[in-house]
Amino acid sequence: MSEQIYDVVIIGGGIGGLMAAYRLRKNNPDCKIAITERGDVLEKRICIAGKEKSCAHCKICHITSGFAGAGAFSDGKFNLGTAYGGTLGEELGEDKANKFINEVDKILNEYCTSGEPVVYKSNDELRLKCLQNNLRLLDMNVKHLGTDNNYLTMQNLIEAIGKSGTDLFHFYNCKSVDKEGDVYNLNYDNGITLKARHIIIATGRGGAGFVADFCKDFGVKVRSNHIDIGVRVEMKDIIWREFSSKIYEPKILYKTKTFEDRCRMFCFNQGGLVSAENNRGIITANGHSFAQADKKTDNCNFAILSSIRFTEPFNQPTEYAENISRLANMIGNGNVLVQRFGDLIRGRRTNDHRLAQNTVTPTLKATAGDISLVLPHRILTNIIETIYALDKVAPGTANDDTLLYGCESKYYSIRPEFNEKFEITDGVYIVGDGSGICRGLSQSGAMGIYVADCING
């Protein structure tokens, strides 16, 4: 195996890598392709964290790593446009970006065998209501598969890719890459080296360290990106039903009064569950929901994140976000913290007694505590102001019993320099969340298809 030279090795088995592999094969049936994934096969990815059990600190997080990537247990919301979820529209031009997003949608339709997904259309009435309250509703058509349908669709797609002759390797964590002539050696921590003429780096957000090392080794210039830090918010589902029944996922921007910072409400999960994810040993909050009615909860959840773009000389935004989350884990005894909004604004911690009496039952076992001991003043102020602003369009959001889980963060700190093919050095391409361009399934998948066409279209 180690003597074979692949035409393309893809590092990372999330949607970016899968779409690239799918398209490479369509373009060229004889192409020698491998996908190497540091996590497990999809069927063996099981996370025990939930209402009863807290995060088990698995060495490789099953929520974010493994075939189907970070999107495996996601809600399966596919944005049918470029209004949010990344800046692919700016990079490729709107028409081209939309063309590739539509192609992702077509491929997913082919493998979505468990029912017709719902498409939610944009809504003028809600957009106006938000505008009248200083809020900007980001609106576009969204296709919702739900966690269960999304999982089956990914399973079918991966099976088809494997059957088409592409090698699928799990527990292949790429540690380093070196080059001999025009062939790259990809060195994995299981001791195996694969050889390839082209590489597609599709390592997602979790692969930020790998991308940083690669760029350093190959002299690729990088620039800092912004980070988003905040909390996952959970409340009774009925509070946001006017929005979720019409547009499914409200994504709302707010410019805060005190600092004039940008805060965003996003990743809304109707009838959903708050989840924990393990990013390099740091446990952070996230959320998802199932499409099936019998798996729905009484709650909804969403993220409220405050955006920060650091300026010179500081250039370690990811480490900054990680350290804040680490502090939450320290106070939370290795877990995320949960606090009632009423306790937060009264300046007291939430304890188990108050949590047990709360009308909103937490869907994640987190440690009752005080997030004001973790989040910097500016970020906390932004979050509190955003909650009050959202309360004007969805009254009840700022209830005492609303739960805040800390922390949640999204970082896209490293953005390698690339050419118009997303090639960062000769024969090496980057796609998906790890490129610093995307923040969602459809744009990550679209980048995968685009790069495949650049390689052998």
Ligand X SMILES: Cc1cc2nc3c(=O)[nH]c(=O)nc-3n(C[C@H](O)[C@H](O)[C@H](O)COP(=O)(O)OP(=O)(O)OC[C@H]3O[C@@H](n4cnc5c(N)ncnc54)[C@H](O)[C@@H]3O)c2cc1C
Q: Which is nearer to ligand X, 204 or 230 (CB)?
A: 204
Q: Which is nearer to ligand X, 384 or 424 (CB)?
A: 424
Q: Which is nearer to ligand X, 64 or 318 (CB)?
A: 64
Distance CA(18)–CA(106), nearest Å, equals 14
Q: Which is nearer to ligand X, 279 or 350 (CB)?
A: 279
137: Cβ contacts below 8 Å, ≥ 6 apart = 126, 127, 130, 131, 250, 251, 252
Q: Which is nearer to ligand X, 274 or 344 (CB)?
A: 274
Least distance from ligand X to the Cβ atom of residue 142, Å: 9
273: Cβ contacts below 8 Å, ≥ 6 apart = 50, 51, 287, 288, 289, 297, 299, 301, 363, 364
> Which residues are at the interface with ligand X (CB under 6 A)?
11-17, 36-39, 64-66, 69-71, 74-77, 79, 85, 172-174, 202-207, 210, 275, 277, 286, 288, 432-434, 439-442, 444
Distance CA(71)–CA(51), nearest Å, equals 21
Q: Which is nearer to ligand X, 199 or 389 (CB)?
A: 199
Distance CA(454)–CA(1), nearest Å, equals 27
Distance CA(324)–CA(433), nearest Å, equals 21
Pairing mode of beta strands 337-340, 367-368 = parallel
Least distance from ligand X to the Cβ atom of residue 287, Å: 7
Separation of CA 97 from chain center: 19
For residue 380 the two structure tokens come to 């906390």
Distance CA(282)–CA(54), nearest Å, equals 13
Least distance from ligand X to the Cβ atom of residue 309, Å: 20
Least distance from ligand X to the Cβ atom of residue 99, Å: 18
Least distance from ligand X to the Cβ atom of residue 313, Å: 28
Least distance from ligand X to the Cβ atom of residue 356, Å: 27
114: Cβ contacts below 8 Å, ≥ 6 apart = 148, 149, 152, 153
Distance CA(246)–CA(410), nearest Å, equals 27
Q: Which is nearer to ligand X, 70 or 404 (CB)?
A: 70
Separation of CA 358 from chain center: 29
